[in-house]
Amino acid sequence: MSIDEVLADALKLVKPDRAEEAEVEALSRMILDRVGRLIGSEGVEAEARILGSIAKGTWLKGDYDIDVFILYPPGIGRGMLTDLSIRIGVKVFEDLGGRWILRYAEHPYVEGWVKGVRVNIVPACRSKPGSWITAVDRTPYHTDYVRRMLPSEEGRDQVRLLKKFMKGIGVYGADVRIGGFSGYLCELLIIRFGSFIDTLRSASKGWIGLFIDLEGYYRDVEDARRVFGDQPLIVVDPIDPRRNVASPVSLTKLSEFTAASKLFLDKPSIEFFNPPSIRLDTDLIREAIERRGSTLLAIVFDEPAIPPDTLWGEIYRSLKAFVNILEKWEFKVIRSSAWSGDGFTAFIVELESGMLPRVKLHRGPPVDSPEASRFLEKYTRGGDRVSGPWIDGDRWYVARRRRYTDVYSLLDDLPRGDLPSYGFSRDIAASIARGVKIYMGTDLLELAGRSRGFSEHLYDILDGRPRWLRFGFIEDTPG
Amino acid sequence: MSIDEVLADALKLVKPDRAEEAEVEALSRMILDRVGRLIGSEGVEAEARILGSIAKGTWLKGDYDIDVFILYPPGIGRGMLTDLSIRIGVKVFEDLGGRWILRYAEHPYVEGWVKGVRVNIVPACRSKPGSWITAVDRTPYHTDYVRRMLPSEEGRDQVRLLKKFMKGIGVYGADVRIGGFSGYLCELLIIRFGSFIDTLRSASKGWIGLFIDLEGYYRDVEDARRVFGDQPLIVVDPIDPRRNVASPVSLTKLSEFTAASKLFLDKPSIEFFNPPSIRLDTDLIREAIERRGSTLLAIVFDEPAIPPDTLWGEIYRSLKAFVNILEKWEFKVIRSSAWSGDGFTAFIVELESGMLPRVKLHRGPPVDSPEASRFLEKYTRGGDRVSGPWIDGDRWYVARRRRYTDVYSLLDDLPRGDLPSYGFSRDIAASIARGVKIYMGTDLLELAGRSRGFSEHLYDILDGRPRWLRFGFIEDTPG
C-alpha cells in the first residue's frame, strides 16, 4: 500500500463520525450546564469551560475524556478552590447516578463516569500568563492557542493521525511511565510542520537537538539552552516561554519515534496505527526462555500504593540502582525493565550469565603511589588472593577470588533494610523490605499466569523488538 | 638484620677475592698478548684492549667474561674487519685448545672458552665520538669514562652491589628477553647517586620520568625529550648525547626495580642478592592448577632458530597479537607470558574462564545514523539475533549469539596460514604453521616434565608474585 492509501485508512480509524461528534457535543453541554448551575448556587464568581482535546477537536475516535474546568479568580485560596470543586464535582456525578473517584495530581479533582464516558472536573485559576497559580492554569490558554492555530478540520485530523501513530508505536503520553509525547505537544508539532507526514519526514532524520519556538521567544537555540539546559528536544510553550512542552520526552522515546517514522516512510502500514494484539502462548514463552542461554530473572514485590507518576519515578530510579548493584559485581546486564500492576511490581533483568568465573583480574595502584603498600599488605598473602600480585607496566595487579560468582547469592545478600543507601526510593525499598521474591528463568511463567499485563511485557522483552519492528512478520515465538 | 649488616654480607657475595683478581688479571694479559701478536703477524694497524667489566673492575665475583676488543682504524672495510677478527679469534682458541663458537650481534664475533672462562673477541673501530662505525665503537670510551669517574674500589663495589641486586630481582640485562638494566647503566647510576643505597632510595620513590644527564648535554628534560620521545627513563650516554642508555628498560622492569627497592629498604634481606632456588614438586603444581578455577592454557611450537634478541622481539610481538585475538573475542586475560628454550616456545595465558555465555549485548549505531538501516537489516530477523533489536537512549542494541563460547574452538579456528596478518611475527607464524599443540590446565605438566626451565616458569606464573615478593615466606604451594 502507498502512504496515501494507508493514511486514508488511518483517518477512518481516528476521525470521529457525525454521531460521535453530536454525542460528545450533547454530553459536554449537559455537564457544563450542570456545573454552571452549581457554581451559581455556590455563589462564587467562577466560570465552567470545556477544555482539552474535546474543546480543540483533536480527540481520537472512540477514545475521549470530557475535561470540565472550573476557573476561579486568582484571589481565591487553595483550600476554597479545592473544596468547592470537589463539592460541585461530586454533586454532578451523584445527580447523574454516575460513579466517581477522587484523583490527585498537583491538587485533587473529581473523575466520574457518565454514560460510559470519563469526565474530569478540574479546578484552575484564571491566572495571567506568567503568574500561574495552579499547574493547570495554562490549559485554557493552550486550548485557545490550538483553536486559533488549527482552525480547519484538516489540521485537526493531522493531529489525530499523529496521536494515533504515537499511540500505536508506544510513545504517546507524558506520564512518567511512558515518558513520551503529550497531546498538546502533538498539536504544536502539527502547527510547526503542517501535516502528519511532514512531521514524520522531519522526525525520521533525527530530532535530538531540535528546537521549536513558535512564538519566537528566544534568539536562538543557545539562548533557549540557558533556560532549558541540554534537554534532547525543546518545544517552547507558546503560552509560557519558560516551559519546554517536550521535557517529559525521554531520549529513548524520542529515538523510537525517529526510528519508527523512518520505517513507516519506508514501509507504510496501517499496523503502525492499529498494532495487532499479541497472541500469548505459555508453551512458546517457556520454550523461548529455555532456548536463549542467558539468565532471565525478576525481583518481585508488592506494588506501593502511591500515585502512578510518583510510583514510576520511583520504579525507574530504583531499577537503575538495582542494575548498578549487578554491574558493580560484574554481572553483564543485557537489558532491564520494570512492570507494575495487578498488585505487584517486578524488576526484570536479563544477564549474559548468572554465573561468573571464580577468579578475576584486579588492577591495583601504581607501583610508586602511596597506596601500593596497602595493596601489598592486603594481597601478598592469603585473603582473596589467588595469584600475584605482579607488576605490569607501572601498576600492581592481582588475581583474586570474586565475592559473588552466582547472582542468586548476590541477591540473597542484598541488605533489605538498607536499600535507600544504594539508591532505591523509599517506597520501593519499604515494599522490598516487607517481602521480595526472586524468579529465575521459567519461574517467570508463574507471574505470567497471575497477570495478562505482565505476560505481554514478558513476551515483549523476550522478543526484544519494539512491537512496530515486528509488524508484517509477527512470528509465533518470541525471542 | 639491619641494612648495613645485609650490605656487608652482600659485599662478600659480589666482591672477588685477591686470588680471583690475580687469575683474571693473568688470563686477560695472556689472551691480550696472544691477540696482540696475531695482529702483528697479520700486519694491520690495530690494537687489542681488554674492555668491559673486567677493565672497569666492576665484574661480579665468580661471574665474568673477558671482553677482548680489536680496535681497527676507521678506514678499514667491514668485510676486512670481520674476516681478520674471526681469523684471529679462532686462532687464539685453537692454539689454547679451547672450544669456540661464532656469535652474531650487529656483526659476527668469536666466543670461546679458556680455563672455564668465557672470552669474547670482538672487532670495533677506533671511531671519533659521533662518527660511530660499528655498534660497539663506544665501548672503549665507556670503559675509559667509568674508570675515570669511579677511580676508587669503594665506588666499584657499589656498582657490584647494584648489579647483584638487580640480578637477584630479575631486572638485570639489556637483552630483549629481560628488557632491564645493563651493566653500564648500573655504573652510570652509581656515578649519579654515589652509592648503592642512595640509588635504591631514589628508585623507591619512582623513576618514571627520571632524567639523568651527567655531562649536561641538554638544557632540561623537555629539551631531551625532543630527541628521546617519552621513554620512561632517560639516562643520556656521557659518550653519545643521542643515545639513551636506559632505552632497553621496559616500564615493567623499571617499576619492579622501584617496588623491590622499596621493599628492600623496608625489610632488608640477603635474599634480594641471593634468591633461594625454587623447590619444584609436580604434585603441588598439579594441585595449584586444579584449585585455581581459572583457565590456564598454552600454545606450544618449535623454537625458531634465530638469535635470542630477534627471537624475543618476535615472541613479545606475537604474544601480544595472540592476547589481542583472545580479547577481541572477549575472553578475559588475567595474565600472559612466554617461555622459550629446550627446543620449544610456549605462549602461556591465564583466562578468567575458557567459557563465555552464549548471548552477548551488542551495541548498535545511533538511531539517526546512516548505519542504522544496515544494522536493522542484519539483526531484525534471524542470523545471530537472540532478541531485539531495541532502542535505549539514542542507539540500537541487540542481544546476539557469541561466535566463540569456548576458547578451544577459537584456537581451533585460528588461521594457521594467515597469522602475520594478525600481528604475529614471520618466524613465529611459520613455526606455528608447521605445528602447534594446545595445552590446557594440568596438560601443562607434560611440558614441565620436558624442561626444568619451563617448570620454574610455570611455578612462577602459578604463584604470580615476583620471586622477591616471596622472600621470607616461600610457601610450599604456588598459587
pLDDT at B474: 47
* DSSP secondary structure of B235-264: EEETTEEEEETTTT--HHHHHHHHHHHHHH
| Residues of chain B neighbouring A380 (CB-CB closer than 8 A) | 465, 469
Per-residue pLDDT, B106? 75
Q: CA-to-CA distance for B223 and B212, rounded, in angstroms?
A: 13
pLDDT at position A476 is 45
Whether B394 sits inside 8 A of A466 (CB atoms) is no
B396 touching chain A per CB within 8 A:
yes
Inform me whether the pLDDT recorded for A162 exceeds 80.
Answer: yes
Q: Which of B255, B355, B384 to mutate to test the interface with A (most CBs of A within 10 A)?
A: B255
* Segment among A311-325, A379-393, B253-267 with least mean pLDDT: A379-393
CB contact under 8 A, A359 and B352: yes
All three cell numbers of A352, joined, read 549474559
Average pLDDT along chain A:
93
ipTM, 2 dp: 0.92
The predicted-structure confidence for B404-441, as pLDDT tens digits, reads as follows 999 999 999 988 878 999 999 999 999 999 999 999 99
pLDDT at residue B466 above 80? yes
Check whether B479 has a pLDDT greater than 70.
no
Whether the per-residue pLDDT at B475 is higher than 60: the answer is no
pLDDT single digits (tens) A54-93: 999 999 999 999 999 999 998 888 888 888 899 999 999 9
Q: Is the dihedral of CA B395, B401, B403, B409 positive or negative?
A: positive
Model confidence at B284, in pLDDT bands (50, 70, 90)? confident
Nearest residue of chain B to residue A331 (CA atoms): B357
Amino acid at A23: E
> Nearest 5°: phi and psi at B104?
-125, 115
Q: Cβ–Cβ contacts within 10 Å for residue A421, how many? A: 10
One-letter amino acid at B163 equals K
Q: Are residues B261 and B196 in contact, defined by beta-carbon separation less than 8 angstroms?
A: no
Q: Give B 174-213 residues with CB within 8 A of chain A.
A: 205-208
Residues in chain A: 479
pLDDT bracket for residue A478 (50, 70, 90): low
| Cβ–Cβ < 8 Å for A200, A187 | no
Using only the alpha carbons of chain A, give its radius of gyration: 27
Per-residue pLDDT tens digits for A165-196: 999 999 999 999 999 999 999 999 999 999 99
Mean of the pLDDT values across residues A140-166? Answer: 97
**pLDDT the model gives residue B462:** 93
Q: What is residue B478's predicted lDDT score, i.e. its pLDDT?
A: 57
Model confidence pLDDT, tens digit, residues B112-132? 999 889 999 999 999 999 899
Q: Above 50 in pLDDT, residue A416?
A: yes
Looking at beta carbons, which residues of chain A come within 8 Å of B208? 368, 394
pLDDT score recorded for residue B476: 45
Q: pLDDT confidence of A1, banded at 50, 70, 90? A: confident
Q: What is the mean pLDDT of chain B?
A: 93
Q: State what percent of residues in chain A have pLDDT above 70.
A: 98
Q: What is residue B477's predicted lDDT score, i.e. its pLDDT?
A: 52
What is the Rg, in whole angstroms, of the alpha carbon atoms belonging to chain B? 27
Q: Determine, for residues B465 and A293 on separate chains, whether the beta-carbon distance falls below 8 Å.
A: no
Angstroms from B223 CA to nearest CA on chain A: 24
| Mean pLDDT, rounded, for B388-399 | 96
Closest residue of chain B to A465, computed from CA coordinates? B388
Give the closest residue to A153 by CA, choosing from A9, A14, A5.
Answer: A14
Contacts of A466 (CB under 8 A, 6+ apart): A169, A170, A256, A259, A260, B390, B391
pLDDT (tens digit, 9 = 90+) per residue, B184-226? Answer: 999 999 999 999 999 999 999 999 999 999 999 999 999 999 9
Closest listed residue to residue B62, CA positions, set B29, B17, B27, B113: B17
Kindly determine whether residue A469 and residue B389, on different chains, have CB atoms separated by under 8 Å.
yes
- Interface check for A255 against chain B (CB to CB < 8 A): the answer is yes
Q: What is the average per-residue pLDDT within A372-378?
A: 93
Average pLDDT over residues B93-105: 87
- Whether the per-residue pLDDT at A134 is higher than 50: the answer is yes
Nearest-CB residue to B394 (from A208, A366, A394): A208
pTM confidence score: 0.85
For residue A252, give the chain B residue with the closest CA.
Answer: B393
Q: How confident is the model at residue A406 (pLDDT cuts 50, 70, 90)?
A: very high
Please, are residues B182 and B245 in contact by the beta-carbon 8 Å criterion? yes
Question: Shortest Cα distance from A193 to chain B (angstroms)?
Answer: 19
DSSP string, A317-385: HHHHHHHHHHHHTT--EEEEEEEEETTEEEEEEEES-SB--SEEEEEEEETTSTHHHHHHHHHSSSTTE
- DSSP 8-state code for residue B440: E
Q: Chain A 283-342, CB below 8 Å of chain B: which residues?
A: 292-294, 332-335
Secondary structure of residue B306 in the 3-state scheme = coil
By mean pLDDT, which of A178-182, A380-384, B266-270 is the weakest? A380-384
Nearest CA in chain A to B334: A361
* Residue A352, pLDDT above cutoff 90: yes
pLDDT band of residue A472 (cuts 50, 70, 90) is low
- Chain B contact present for A389, CB below 8 A: yes
CB-based contact, A365 to chain B, within 8 Å:
no
Of residues B475 and B104, more confidence is placed in B104
- Per-range mean pLDDT, top range of A40-54, B40-54, B74-88, B159-173: B159-173
User: Terminal CA-to-CA distance of chain B, rounded, Å?
Assistant: 29
Going by their DSSP bridges, the two strands B117-125 and B211-212 should be labelled as unpaired
pLDDT band at B75 (very low <50, low <70, confident <90, very high): confident
pLDDT at residue A284, as a whole number: 86
- Chain B CB contacts of A261 below 8 Å: none
Q: Angle B44-B49-B54 (CA atoms, 0-180°, nearest 5)?
A: 160
Does residue A473 surpass a pLDDT of 80?
no
